[in-house]
Amino acid sequence: MAAHRFVTTAQMEAFHFTEHASQTSAARVCRRVLERLRRERLLSTLERRVGGIRAGSASYVWHVDVVGDRLLRDIEPRARRRRYEPSLHFLQHTLAVVDAHLILVRLSHRSKIDVVRVETEPACHRRYSGLGGGTITLKPDLFALTVTGEFEDSWFVEVDLGTESVPRLVAKCHEYEAYRRSGVEQDASGVFPVVVWTVETKRRREALLAAIVKDAGLRSDLFRVIAPNELSALVNGGAP
């Protein structure tokens, strides 16, 4: 829960309640545990729901409450979490990033791939010095390190929901290129991760890919533009 600001009931179940005899049993236990954590002020829910009120407790979106925040700050010093109702766009993007994280978790459970590490924001942020000497921060949505047999692959993941223009996405690609040229990541790990864009519509995927290939300032082999449901197959196949 602490890795993401907001998580739905279904996502909590998928992360933590996978060892039950049936999905019905898992859902029942998950809801019972979440309600107990809410009573103890470890977790709370937003006023906004996913799927509407008719979806019942499955529609809740959870976040760390005051007691949970205090416990997390005792473990690792950090700023106090401010309670607020996020915008619909921010919430949708956050939950889509959680879904991408879940794809990696499920892949690790059912295949020979070992997902060694998944970093969420802000742990996945990368800082480096720009041309003027100032500090620049690259902000991926996720970073993942996976191992298949003797091969290790690393990935930066960007989740696009179609709310920004394609030129803005290309500008973000240039941020990755600038970070690659800094050499910071390569000095730390020996390689530069593949940058994966998950994009919902075919037309938008084609437009982004065409823009990347056309841009002389970008290395097109650094980027993959895929549908969200293709992330598992991409990671499973490795990064050629």
CA distance linking residue 137 with residue 122, whole number of Å: 10
Name every residue whose Cβ is closer than 8 Å to that of residue 41 and which is 6 or more positions away in sequence: 65, 66, 67, 68
**Chain center to CA of 41:** 26
pLDDT of residue 51: 66
pLDDT of residue 204: 97
pLDDT of residue 73: 79
Q: Two tokens at 39?
A: 């009573």
pLDDT of residue 2: 66
- The CATH number for 92-237, chosen from 1.10.1760, 3.40.1350, 2.30.30, 3.20.14, is 3.40.1350
Name every residue whose Cβ is closer than 8 Å to that of residue 36 and which is 6 or more positions away in sequence: none
Taking the model in full, what pTM does it have? 0.89
pLDDT of residue 19: 77
Contact (Cβ atoms closer than 8 angstroms) between residue 221 and residue 182: no
pLDDT of residue 74: 80
pLDDT of residue 237: 82
Domain ranges of the chain: 7-85, 92-237
One pLDDT digit (tens) per residue for the chain, 240 residues: 568 899 999 999 999 898 777 888 888 999 999 999 999 999 999 988 876 555 566 789 999 999 998 888 787 766 666 677 899 999 999 999 999 999 999 888 877 788 899 999 999 999 999 877 899 999 999 999 999 888 899 999 999 999 999 999 999 999 999 999 999 999 999 999 999 999 999 999 999 999 999 999 999 999 999 999 999 999 988 666
Name every residue whose Cβ is closer than 8 Å to that of residue 65 and which is 6 or more positions away in sequence: 38, 41, 42, 43, 44
pLDDT of residue 77: 67
The dihedrals phi and psi of 2, each to the nearest 5 degrees, come to -65, -20
Q: What does the buried/exposed string (b/e) look like for 62-93 if buried means 16 or more CB atoms within 10 Å of the residue's CB? A: bbbbeebbeebeeeeeeeebeeeebeeeebeb
C-alpha dihedral, 125 to 129 to 135 to 140, nearest 10°:
-20
